[in-house]
Amino acid sequence: MKRLLCTIAAAALPLGAATAQDAYVIGVSGAMTGPVAANYAPVVEAMKAYLDHVNARGGVNGRQLRVLVLDDQAQPSRAATNAKQLLVQDKVVMLLNASLSSTYAPMIAESKRAGVPLYYAGAVCPKETYPPADPLQFCSTAFGANLDSQAALAFIKRNSKDSVRLGLAAMAIPIARAEIDYAEGLSKTLGMTPVEKQISPPPAPDYTPFATKLKDANPTWVWSWSPWVSQVRVFEAMRRLGWNGRYVTWAHLNAEEELARIRDGEFYVIGTNAFMEDNLPIHAEIRAVAARAKLDYPVSYLTEGFVAGLVVESVLRNTPWPPTPQKVLAAMNNVKVDMKGLRGGPLEWTKDNHFRTRQHYRVWRWDPQGGRIVRAQDWQAIEVKR
């Protein structure tokens, strides 16, 4: 019996290798489980479902796409092991990261060692992807440090007749604190008065003490840029304390669902991905693909993953067979992906800019009279420069 199993295993090995040789193989290390999985797992699963859908349509350049997903639980040591395995064993031509920023360093090191491009999909875009970009790092994730605050404060300014007393709220994680510090400085140059800045630890048992101090400063607007839990809990606590100002916050994956839950006309979310409510043809495709793949997440969580899927498909379509990391890199350095309405314009990477050349922002809120989500501002573009 043991000999039979060994024979079957030995026979299966070259078969597996042949399959890999006939396909474009890319590898993902993502936080598929663990405390932050809710932010990353839907992106990876949606991207994989979309690429399976591409395979069902015949693949890319007549070849199948093979996506290998390894779970790093947002732990740097696991991310390092995953990257090694994907690069050395599986010989992937593109490495993807969908995890916390603490996993970046080991993956960057492995990507550099192997000369394989590293693409952040759903993970925060590091500054190395902005122009002048690191040759090997690319990013398509919706949010962009500094640009988001520029867009949010511009929206606040456009919608304020009187002088703005600005409250700022963030979670005590480096990236969120840096962004909110940037927003504080920027608000002064725009003639606003930053009245209070609250940084809450992740997670807090009760956000009311933080909200109390923010509310006591009597801001007319609050801008919060953090993981969703921190953004929305501070807002809800402020409302319960009787604050009736306006609150702008980043549109994370669950923003559409949450706007419908919170139902507050003065709670705004700003983001760069279209909402399912827009009902574009691509949204019908997302619904169909999600149903076929039996994804557990609400379809409104899947846009970011589809964006990543469109990018991967586009890059590999421009990568001649047989693929090598160098050919993939060349394709990534010169790509313009049609977002089919999921964003305000195409996603364009150049040799110098691995983030995008233009970032488009929309703002949504809940309309209490109409009982639905409405746009508070349509696409506004910001040029991404050096």
Partner 1 sequence: MQLAVNILVLASIYALICCGYVLIYRVSRVLSLAHGELMMLGAYGLYATASLFSGHPLIALAAAGALALAVGVAVYFALMWRMTGESVLAAVLATIALGILLRGAMILMFGTQTQHPLRDLGWTNGSLEVGAARISAVGLALILSTALVYGGLALFLRATRWGIRMRAAGQHPLLAAQRGIGLHGIYALAWGLATFTGGLAGMLIACDAGLESTLVIIGLKAFPAALVGGLDSLVGALVGSLVVAAAEVVLIHYVDPLLSDVVPFVILLAMLVVRPWGLFGTREELDRV
Residues near partner 1, by CB under 8 A: 33-35, 37-38, 41, 172, 198-210, 212-213, 228-229, 233, 236-237, 239-242, 254, 261, 296-297
**Cα distances (angstroms) measured from residue 181 to each of 6, 104, 146, 149, 267:** 60, 23, 10, 10, 22
Residue placing its CB nearer to partner 1 in the complex, 176 or 311 = 176
User: Which of 212, 350 has the CB closer to partner 1?
Assistant: 212
Q: Which residues contact 193 (CB under 8 A, 6 or more apart)?
A: 163, 164, 165, 166, 187
Question: CB burial class (10 A; 0-12, 13-18, 19+) of residue 7?
Answer: exposed
CB of 167 to partner 1, least distance (A): 13
Minimal distance in Å, beta carbon 77 to partner 1?
17
Closer residue to partner 1 (CB): 24 or 243: 243
Angle between helices 147-158 and 174-189 (to 10 degrees): 40
Of 34 and 245, CB closest to partner 1: 34
What is the SS3 assignment for 294? coil
* Of 287, 305, 272, the residue nearest 67 (C-alpha): 305
Nearest approach in angstroms of CB 226 to partner 1 is 13
Whole-number minimum distance, CB 291 to partner 1, in Å? 17
The two three-digit tokens of residue 252, written as one number: 């994370």
Kindly provide the b/e burial profile for residues 145-164, where b requires at least 16 CB atoms within 10 angstroms of the residue's own CB: bbbbbbbbbbbbeeebeeeb
* CB-CB contact of 36 with 98 (8 Å): no
Q: Select 21 or 218, whichever has its Cβ closest to partner 1.
A: 218
- Least Å distance, CB 98 to partner 1, is 13
Q: Taking the complex as a whole, how short is the minimal distance between the CB of residue 206 and partner 1, in angstroms?
A: 5
Identify the three-state secondary structure at position 34: coil
Looking at the Cβ atoms of 207 and 223, the one nearer to partner 1 is 207
Q: In the complex with partner 1, which residue's Cβ is closer, 65 or 232?
A: 232
CA distance 156 to 375: 14
| Structural contact between residues 258 and 234, judged by C-beta atoms closer than 8 angstroms | no
Rounded least distance, CB 198 to partner 1, Å? 6
